[in-house]
Amino acid sequence: MIPEGTHANRGTHRGNKTQRARGTCFFSERWTVFTEPAKGYPIGCPMTNSGDRDIDDGRQAKRDHETGLRTVDQRMVVRARHHFLSTGDAIGDIPNPLLQSWRRSASHAVSTDGPTEIDILSRAALRTLIESSEALVQASWGEVETLRQDMRAWQGIVALTDPEGRILMRVGNDSFASDADRLALAPGVNWSERLMGTNAIGTALEEGRALTVHGAEHFIDPNAVLSCTAIPILDPHGVILGALDLSTPEAVSHDHLLALLSRAVTQIERNLFQRTCGQWERMSLHSNPYLLGSPQEGLLAFDGDKLVGASKNAIALLDMPWSAVDGLRFGDLFSVQQGSVIRQAAADECIVQTVRGHTLFARMEAPTQRSNRSPQRKKELPDLRATVVPRSPRHPHEILDDLGSEPTVGHIIRRKVRIGNLIHGAEEKDKSGEAVLIVAEGELRCFTSFEGKEMTLFTLSMGDVMILRDHIQVEVQKEGEIYILRHSYFEAALRISGEFAVAVMPVIEHLLRKSIEMIGDMAFHSVKYRLVRLVIDMAETLGHETARGMMIEMRSGGEELATRVGASRQTVSTALAGLTRDGYIQRIGAHSLLVPDLKRLKADMNNWP
């Protein structure tokens, strides 16, 4: 076991009603298969009895030489564990966290053969649990997908759990996933230490820190085929919301995987911070000004002068305990006036001095403001279309409303979505690995992510159609209603309805044209050119005329521009400053742009590469 990181607060969490699969012995020598009725996936044990853990020295040495991956002396661990189970005492160089975990497992009466019954949720109960963990799932989805891509070179899976250790979602290598199913490393199963003994998920949650459990270090015999690394995920108060886990075959070293997992958890916690603390003033800080805006920066949130949220990096930079959140004020942390920092750091980074004499660079961000669109206008639009253009072609979703009762198409459901929801369509994907999203109402952002960075691909609105694939993520930006169809259902609708096919073609053509334009821009044009093109597009589609020029309202300021242009926030900020200096645009607060002369901007755009 390799512990790493700092301890976190252990937050309270609700218990969940479980459905248990029963049998003789889950991890027995003869495979015992349990089928959870609603889910329908088999769970069993591919292992023989615990005697198989005594590894033949010759065969093991040969495997060590061939893989070059092993970093833990498994033979020593096996001997130490057998001695512990026989006497209750430790021998050899066994890390204390591992020994304490074995002792806790023994005190919970965990059998080394495995539990005789598995704590697994029904499909309906799992869906309810995921909905109750919506903030965590939404903040984690992009990083889970990035890890899945990173893990292609190795067999393994990525799992996200709730605070109890119950697996919410799992992605990864298909061949290893079947092995994981047999070991009950599957959605809906509780991997807490009290039920599964020493394991990365349960022990990391119990210890409140990152750790790796290699092979024979697991308390349950059959789990010795695994090597697993897990890191708790903290909210801005330091409370554990869940854990992120990487599990692979035992022979795979986790030294490099720990770094990947740590990066992912850092970004998840940043996402949670932004979602949770957006209504307050936020402060970014670091000892290196070039790391502001990076995953290494520390984050603080203030309600007035009261500290109401923090990130792990900020806790480390300021050398303070998690209890400082909701307990300290701005003046308890810094030797400068909060007002002067807000004035300076809102425009650019400034230098701040801590009460302990440390010098840091800081940047302030104002509370996020969400524009409220009149609900009356939303209701009037359908009536206006019906009155002014009653014979115009119908949108794809309007035709689907009629096809919903067509038996040859399949089961079609129109569902409501809320701001911040992530749409992935996992349940609707068939053998093609694809599902089809059709927007009936609202606005959605399609984006891709890599190493914590996001790039917006498209913005979808009423009538748009999009193929959902694993590497593309969709976030709801304005609440509405959508259809998600299995690819086979979509093809059936195209076959039986010529009107539907005709309605879909121009939409797909439009997205294809946008894709080609984006590829061309990324390949041949500078960030400045792409930024100007985006500003023009936003002015023409979202802007409104004022006496001073065309006003553009944005949701998240520079971050929105950076993700849509496909560049870092710092690079976009530099280009934006140049356009402001030359009089092409004006910044109005943190979330608005003014274009004084749109014609001039269009005319001069082609002068830039």
pLDDT digits (tens, 9 = 90+) for 2-49: 454 444 554 444 444 333 333 323 332 222 223 233 332 222 233 323
Name the residue type at position 50.
S
pLDDT attached to residue 1: 61
Q: Indicate if the pLDDT at residue 247 is higher than 70.
A: yes
Least confident of 119-133, 215-229, 313-327, 528-542: 528-542
Q: Which residues pair with 361 in a beta bridge?
A: 286, 351
Q: Indicate if the pLDDT at residue 457 is higher than 50.
A: yes
In this structure, what is the dihedral angle of CA atoms 32, 36, 37, 42, given to the nearest 10 degrees?
-60
Strands (E), 240-319: 240-249, 281-286, 298-303, 306-310
198 vs 553: which has the higher pLDDT: 198
Task: Report the C-alpha gap between 270 and 309 in whole angstroms.
Answer: 11
pLDDT band at 602 (very low <50, low <70, confident <90, very high): confident
- The pTM of the full predicted model, rounded to 2 decimals, is 0.54
pLDDT attached to residue 25: 32
Task: Report the C-alpha gap between 200 and 213 in whole angstroms.
Answer: 5
- Residue-wise pLDDT for 391-446, tens only, equals 456 788 788 777 755 554 556 667 888 888 888 666 666 666 678 888 888 888 88
What average pLDDT does the segment 462-480 reach? 82
Task: Report the C-alpha gap between 500 and 509 in whole angstroms.
Answer: 15
- Residue-wise pLDDT for 196-245, tens only, equals 999 999 999 999 999 999 988 999 999 999 999 999 999 999 999 999 99
Read out DSSP for 508-528? HHHHHHHHHHHHHHHHHS-HH
- Residue-wise pLDDT for 140-163, tens only, equals 988 988 888 887 777 889 999 999
Other Cβ atoms closer than 10 A to 560: 19
pLDDT band at 384 (very low <50, low <70, confident <90, very high): very low
- Please tell me what DSSP assigns to residue 80: H
Q: Which residues pair with 461 in a beta bridge?
A: none
pLDDT attached to residue 453: 64
Least confident of 107-121, 346-360, 549-563: 549-563
Least confident of 21-35, 89-103, 324-338, 530-544: 21-35
What average pLDDT does the segment 455-465 reach? 79
pLDDT attached to residue 158: 93
pLDDT attached to residue 58: 39
pLDDT band at 579 (very low <50, low <70, confident <90, very high): confident
Q: Which residues pair with 334 in a beta bridge?
A: 354
Other Cβ atoms closer than 10 A to 371: 9
What average pLDDT does the segment 324-348 reach? 78
Nearest to 164 by CA among 195, 209, 131: 195
Q: Indicate if the pLDDT at residue 254 is higher than 90.
A: no
Highest mean pLDDT of the ranges 43-52, 125-134, 236-245, 595-604: 236-245
Highest mean pLDDT of the ranges 265-269, 461-465, 547-551: 265-269
pLDDT attached to residue 241: 96
- Residue-wise pLDDT for 260-287, tens only, equals 899 999 999 999 998 899 889 999 999 9
492 vs 246: which has the higher pLDDT: 246
Task: Report the C-alpha gap between 175 and 186 in whole angstroms.
Answer: 14
Q: Which residues, 6+ apart, have CB-to-CB distance to 77 below 8 Å?
A: 94, 214, 215, 216, 217
pLDDT band at 313 (very low <50, low <70, confident <90, very high): very high
Q: Phi-psi region for residue 362, left (φ > 0), alpha (ψ -120 to 50) or beta?
A: beta
